[in-house]
Chain A
Amino acid sequence: MGRILLIWRLVLGDIRRRPVQAAMLVLMIVTTTTTLTLGLALHKVTDSPFARTRAATRGPDVVAQIAPQSGAVARPATQFASLLRSGQVTAISGPYPFSIASLTAPGIDILAQAEGRDLAPAKLDQPALTEGSWVRPGGAVLESGFAASLGLKPGDAIHLNGHRFTVAGVAVSAAQCFYPVTKPGVIWLTRTDAERLAPRAQALGYVLNLKLAHPEAVEDFAFGPIGNAFFNQPSNEVVTSLQTWLDIRHEDFQVISVDEKGLLISSSLLALVALATIAVVVGARMTEQTRRVGLLKAVGATPWLVAAVVLAEHLLLALLAAVAGVAAGKLLAPLLTDPGAGLLGSPPAPPLPATAILIVVAVAVAVAVTATLVPAVRAARVSTIRALADPAHPPRRRPWLIALSARLPVPLLFGLRLLARRPRRAALTAASLTIAVAMLVAALSLQHRIDVHDQTNAGYLVGSGSVADRVSHLVYLLSGILVVLAGVTAMFTTWATAIDAQRPTALARALGATPRQVGVGLTAAQLIPGLIAACLGIPVGLGLYQAAGGHLHEASPPLLWLLALIPGTLIVVAALTAIPARLGATRSPAEVLRSD
């Protein structure tokens, strides 16, 4: 008990002694677990939306339609008969009457396919509500893509061929592609309402949904004798069409796959970066722990107590941060998943199950602890004297660099030696800045692809809330998260380096360097890894984007944007370093040098 109390006190003591660092670690883990949660939520949305829609709506294998030629009347009983005779059909729903009606509302005047449905759920193709309730007399249900595009929601009033209706709900269906791929957009009414809309019986068409014994053999059915018999109706009577579930899926994918890939790239990138960043932060923090370990051991702590203190501290911080991060992620998730669901024409993703949340927390904590474990065990085993005498990584000596820097102006001399002193820290800085730049490049590529996509489809996807609009909305959100994460990473590494450089800075000033010289030197020490990172980050980002399924040959971001990232990165790094560099340059050197 006493030992646990001691560990607790040491842990609290260390956190209090270096609150900025602890806060930084917490901030990093919060950001990364938030993004991880968002990534998972996003994945749920993008994960095979068609299959989910099909399962949720008991999607048909074949959708047959007849539309009467002008003057003729559709006779569903005889015209669908050839299909119904087939032994392969195991279930049907319909035939449902439909007509093409003009939908009007303030600011809206568009054609819609109004389909008459039963109040009771259908055995096949029962559209799944994403909002509101199912059809009722006077109440219409809009296909989700159509509703989003028109900006209609339950409760809104609309007119169909002059008859007044209320939007009762919004739903998705796997019996046709979502609007605007399927045009005109679909709207479901009661049978009576749908029949009432038709100016005369001649205007009514019919839809029949079929379930087959072998859905995978649907093409044999559609293009075999049965399908042919259906198609070969007297052409002056009806126009027939037969859509298989494979056709619908294929058409859906034409539009979705592009966007789905964008979402997938982003969410996998987020997850990857999140994990890497935690490891980087914990690693950076651990390099400063060895001296403290030596002190603990010198006053009689056992190696295991030492390891326990180090582990307990990071476990505590990681756990707190992970829980906060997941909570934030869950709060933010609807921002991403709601437009995502509408975009993909699928029912809303089920909320993240508790196990997924547990996994996020467990992964964050596991990464933090794993990153701590190696240094903790090493710290526990290192000899007390060595630990006391020297920090974890004694500064490196690079004779050629020291000789070279002696010939350079004082700020560069100082900056270069700082850099050479901690090559691993410099590499870490370069690595995390590379990740940050790569994230930006990937975000830019994604954004650019949306721009290109928007332009090529300008005439096709019209109206506010079009697919393209919603995709860019999503991409902006994702890019925003990526940029925040990149910024936090860059800030942390520059701070850590500046803190690490405190003593050499104070000493250089005691030996005669001016505040300006050390300030510029500190910044230079960051700009060198920054430059390397900017140059590496661009190809890495493009590679990541490509690897995650992006198509660079279709739309790679303009070279100028990419090149602008190099000075951009340097400016941001210089700005981020400015504050710690100023602190280091103006803080009384006596204070730093005497704390020893």
Chain B
Amino acid sequence: MTEPILAGGEPILAARTLSKEYGTASALVRAVDDVSLTVNQGESVAIVGPSGCGKSTLLYLLGGLERPTAGTLALDSQPIHDMPESRLARLRRHAVGFVFQAFHLVDELTALENIELPALLAGASPSAARERARDLLEQVDLSDRAAHLPSALSGGQRQRVAIARALANRPRVVLADEPTGNLDSAATTDVLRLFDQLRTAGQTLVVVTHDSRVAATADRLISMRDGAFVDETRLTGGSARSLTEITGLEA
């Protein structure tokens, strides 16, 4: 995220007629229904829609955490919809960073240890992983909380640690599912500011959200209903607007 990347570059994610069904017969749920989407390098995309419309499912599909029932999906130019699980895992390490609504930090690890975890899992040396984690902690402005356990952090701080963790392996794309869903408005502002920084730095981002303020930080806004895209807006100069303007708060 430090090197500048041109918006509108190569496609990082390319989904064609993607579908995901759960259950069978009368209990069949078509959570994602025939969705096509291309996300280019450096782009930031927000997906909004009512509860249960399939936003999380789509995000898990895009990140390769869930398999589509039909359709094709390319991540970083490699088709992943039928890629063997272990190859997919290795690709995912460097291609995707996840941020969850429920944070999903490891309770018994400190903030710093949580952030270095993906690097360790990807086989980085302990010292390299540690160094990277310190950098990220500084970027999310939590250097003084390095040794704190998640239980000793506020909600906004936890989510910032989770975002830093998602960035640990310098992923091509960060996928965030309701990153502010569990936060109050002050904490939301912290996280929003961070996303804004990421977008400016050229990090590719896909954010699922209920929150219009989060949606407003994106370049593109996609609306979903019943598993399908119903509307797509290119936010004019989303990057040009200041955070203050978007949030209505003093930054």
Contacts and interface: CB of A to CB of B under 8 A. Distances in A.
Interface of A: 389-390, 394-398, 402, 406-407, 410, 413-414, 417, 420-421, 504, 507-517, 586, 588-591, 593-594, 596
B90 interface: yes
Contacts of A414: 121
A512 B121 contact: yes
A484 B2 CA distance: 61
Nearest to A588: B66
A509 B90 CA distance: 10
Nearest to A515: B85
B123 A514 contact: no
18 contacts: A397-B108, A397-B149, A402-B108, A406-B120, A406-B126, A406-B129, A420-B108, A508-B121, A510-B63, A512-B89, A512-B169, A515-B85, A515-B86, A588-B65, A588-B67, A593-B65, A593-B100, A593-B104
Contacts of B67: 588
A512 B104 contact: no
B108 A395 contact: yes
A394 B56 CA distance: 28
B32 to A, nearest CB: 12
A1 to B, nearest CB: 34
Contact of B106 (A507, A517, A590): A507
Interface string B112-154: 0100111011110010010000000000000000000101000
Given A421-B108, A588-B65, A593-B104, 18 more contacts: A394-B107, A396-B108, A398-B108, A406-B120, A407-B126, A413-B120, A507-B104, A509-B89, A511-B165, A512-B92, A512-B93, A513-B89, A513-B121, A514-B90, A515-B89, A517-B121, A591-B66, A593-B100
A480 to B, nearest CB: 40
A593 B66 CA distance: 11
Contacts of B108: 395-398, 402, 417, 420-421
A507 B60 CA distance: 13
A596 B66 CA distance: 17
Best-buried of A413, A508, A511, A513 by chain B (most CB within 10 Å): A511
Given A395-B107, A590-B60, A594-B56, A410 B121 contact: yes
A395 B151 CA distance: 11
A371 B152 CA distance: 33
Given A406-B120, A510-B98, A504 B86 contact: no
B102 interface: yes
Contacts of B65: 509-510, 588-590, 593
Nearest to B119: A512
Best-buried of B57, B116, B120, B122 by chain A (most CB within 10 Å): B120
Contacts of A417: 108
B6 interface: no
Contacts of B120: 406, 410, 413
A458 B115 CA distance: 71
A324 B108 CA distance: 42
Interface in B155-214: 165, 169
B109 interface: yes
Nearest to B114: A511
A504 B109 CA distance: 12
A590 B66 contact: yes
A403 to B, nearest CB: 8
A504 B106 contact: yes
Contacts of A517: 121
Nearest to A508: B121
A406 B57 CA distance: 32
A589 B151 CA distance: 23
A509 to B, nearest CB: 7
A589 B118 CA distance: 15
Contacts of A420: 108
B231 to A, nearest CB: 25
Contacts of A397: 108-109, 149
Contacts of A406: 116, 120, 126, 129
B123 A410 contact: yes
B109 A516 contact: no
A389 B158 CA distance: 15
Contacts of B98: 510-511
A412 to B, nearest CB: 11
Nearest to A407: B126
B219 to A, nearest CB: 26
A516 B89 CA distance: 10
A34 B151 CA distance: 46
Contacts of B93: 512
Contacts of A413: 120-121
A417 B120 CA distance: 13
Contacts of B109: 397, 402
A407 B67 CA distance: 33
Nearest to B86: A514
Nearest to A509: B89
A588 B65 CA distance: 6
A398 to B, nearest CB: 8
Contacts of A394: 107, 151
A514 B66 contact: no
Q: Which 9 A-B pairs have the closest CB atoms?
A: A512-B93, A590-B60, A514-B89, A590-B65, A395-B108, A397-B108, A514-B86, A590-B66, A511-B118
Interface in B61-87: 63, 65-67, 85-86
A511 B86 CA distance: 13
Contact of B121 (A396, A398, A511, A596): A511
Contacts of A596: 102
A593 B57 CA distance: 12
